[in-house]
Amino acid sequence: MQFIPYLNFNGNCAEAMAFYAKVLNGKQGPVMRFGDMPPSPDMPPVPESAKNGVMHTFVQFGDQELMASDVMPEACGGMAYQAPHGMYISIRVDTVDEGRRIFNAFAEGGKVSMPFDKTFWSPGFGMVTDRFGTPWMLNVFVPA
């Protein structure tokens, strides 16, 4: 079994996923747009203003993925965007330097809820919501 986080964005999915690929040393997958969907009698047409929105993409990190899309346009039966709440994406890294590098990249233009620092369980831990609205926890792994 594998858990794959799937993020929703409010029109800035392509920018966010390119940022995550760069910061986390991942490989960007194909980007499918709402405008690429073939017409369907069961769905209203995609409005011109939403055609460039991301219907689906992913970033690959070794054998792991982070998937995402912009929210489906309301005109097509989608719901209004809601910022993530009640969850974090937790990243475990091997070194304090790597944790601090990623944390600082996410903190730029974002909101720090717990600064990256030493804790009783880790030499480096922090909590931040990046400028795209995604909440992250960075934790330096210490082998037992």
pLDDT in tens, 88-138: 999 999 999 999 999 999 999 999 999 999 999 999 999 999 999 999 999
Radius of gyration of the chain (CA): 17
pLDDT in tens, 40-72: 888 777 888 888 999 999 999 999 999 999 998
DSSP state of 76: G
What type of residue is 101?
R
Does residue 82 register a pLDDT over 90?
no
Structural domains of the chain sorted by starting position, each given as residue range(s) with its CATH number in brackets: 6-76 (3.30.720.100), 89-140 (3.30.720.110)
Token pair of 1 as six digits: 């079994």
Look at the pTM and tell me if it is higher than 0.85. yes
> What pLDDT score was predicted for residue 77?
64
